[in-house]
Every structure is written in structure tokens, then in C-alpha cells.
Structure 1
């Protein structure tokens, strides 16, 4: 798949077939996340693979926008380690870049995926930390729900000239 084609046609997929995802595919998605750019090349991320049904269902109870995890065979939690960056607060951009790379890598492999934001919502952050025994210095940032798509969505053209400004507003 060509890069621009992937960027322009990838869509959020929330319905999945009941088919497991291979460990190799999950690791490919994780490799894409770990190859994202990061401020000062500090790479402040950690990832948790979640494929236990009981944990996925518990996250659905914790997070009001995670209903798609009921049917997802797996999810990947992207976390930022607050003890790593010397460039404070850039971990958010770093984990965002990792999350986007992971969405594109999933799509490239024929998987459907959706970004579920966790940070900065205090309740989901705290409850997910507790559920998965995450240290306090590691912040749950996003959940990437992945699976073989049960729905098909086509790309949308979103380029808006009115949002582009040359040299000043």
C-alpha cells in the first residue's frame, strides 16, 4: 500500500470479525509505533497488548467511548513514561505520533482499528492504571482497538482550502 493512499483512505473501524490476530501482526503494529518520531528522540512510550476478553470488557465498563472493545480481538494501550523525557510535556505529541503510525500499520495489514483517547480524562486514566497495574509515572494515553474489519468504509476527501493560510492568518 502506498503511503498517501493509506493516509487518505484509512478510516476508523469499530466493528470486527471474531477472528484472532496473529502475534506477528501485533508486533508489526508495535514496530510502527516505536518508529514514530519523538522529541529529542527520547521515545517515552510503553505498550501493553490486551487480548484477554475479561480485561477488554472491563475497559468497556471503565471508558465511556470504548464500546468497540466488546468485539475486538485485541487492543494496544499506548502509554507515556513521565520519567523518561527531559523535554517535559512532549510525551503527548510523541505518543500521538506512535498512535497514528500504529493505525496506519494496522490498515496496511488489512486490519481495522480505531484510536480511543484515554489521557487526559482523569477517571479512565486512573482506573486503567489500576486495572493493568501500571506504575503512577506511566500515563495511559490511547487505546488502539484492532481486528479484522466487519464493516467497510471508504476514504473521505477532507482537504479544505479555507483552513490553509500563507505566512500569516
Structure 2
């Protein structure tokens, strides 16, 4: 549970690049997520160059972390060959959460920036990526070394009044 409690939305980063081995670990964590009928609808684009990161940041009114982070992961959902397309957004959400938890586990900071289902944001991300075929943008995950070490949340959000025993 420690990795879950370490997770925090980090929006400010140092200039230190994210090691490619850590990015691979984030991708392994993402692809370990549960998936309806094991369809695994995900495709990930790793943006480390400034031009692409700036274009991605401009895709959302909340995109500043993508401008500041040395790495932006673009989680996209495949549009073809899915056995349960109605469940793909759940699969994508699970994969993004795994990235966030693994980032915390690695001592990195990350934040989930919502893109889907906002059509204007999805279109802007599509353009920033060069309009890859067969995928639609789902989310941006800004990743970097946190400028300030976030405080672990611990189990402080637990609210026993929201647990109903039957």
C-alpha cells in the first residue's frame, strides 16, 4: 500500500530528465493493468522534446504541467480490434493509474491531465502527435523529478462513513 499512499499529483518538476529505464518501468506498469476481455486497448506515445511537449500543453487549459515536465506520456486508445469497446475507457483509466503509482514508487512526480472525452483537447493532442491512425487520445501524464517532495497522503482520505456494511 505504500506506493498507493505515496502517489500525489505533482505539477512542478526539476530540469533533470527522466531516465529511459524508468520510462520503461512506467510502461510495464501501465500494461500490467486489468483489461476487459484482455483487450489491452492502449498505445503510449512518449514526448520528451520541447516542441511536442509545448503543443501537448496547449491542448488543455490545465496543461501547464506538460510544459514543465521533461517527459509527457500520451495514453491513447486503439479504435479497432476491440472486443469490448464500451469498456476501453475503464482499461485506459486503470493503465494511467498504474503509471501514477509506479512513478511515485520510483520517486518521480506525475499528474494525470484529462483529455478524453473533450473533443477539442483530443483534436489538439492528435495534431501534436502527427495524427496517428487507429488511436484516439485519452490522457496526458506529465512525469518528472518533483521540484518539491510531496507529502505522503497515507490513509488520511479514509472515511469510514462511506463504507456501508451489509
1:44 lines up with 2:63 in the alignment:
no
Alpha-carbon RMSD across the aligned residues, in angstroms, is 1.3
Hey, what's the Cα distance between the residues in 2 that align with 1:33 and 1:115?
Answer: 13
Per-residue CA distance 1:15-68 (angstroms, 9 max, x = gap) = 100001111111110111011110001101000000110111112222111101
Unaligned runs of 5+ in 2: none
- Matching residue of 1:110: 107
Q: Per the alignment, in what secondary structure is the counterpart of residue 58 of structure 2?
A: helix
Q: Report the Cα offset of residue 135 of structure 1.
A: 3.8
1:64 lines up with 2:61 in the alignment:
yes
Question: Contact conserved, 2:3 with 2:102, CA < 8 A, in 1?
Answer: no
User: What is the TM-score normalised by the length of structure 1?
Assistant: 0.92
Q: Report the Cα offset of residue 134 of structure 1.
A: 3.3
Hey, what's the Cα distance between the residues in 2 that align with 1:72 and 1:131?
Answer: 16
Superposed, 1:65-104 pairs within 5 Å as: 65-104=62-101
1:6 lines up with 2:3 in the alignment:
yes
Per-residue CA distance 1:80-129 (angstroms, 9 max, x = gap) = 11213211211100010100111111111111001111100110101111
- Matching residue of 1:152: 149
User: What is the TM-score normalised by the length of structure 2?
Assistant: 0.93
Hey, what's the Cα distance between the residues in 1 that align with 2:139 and 2:8?
Answer: 17
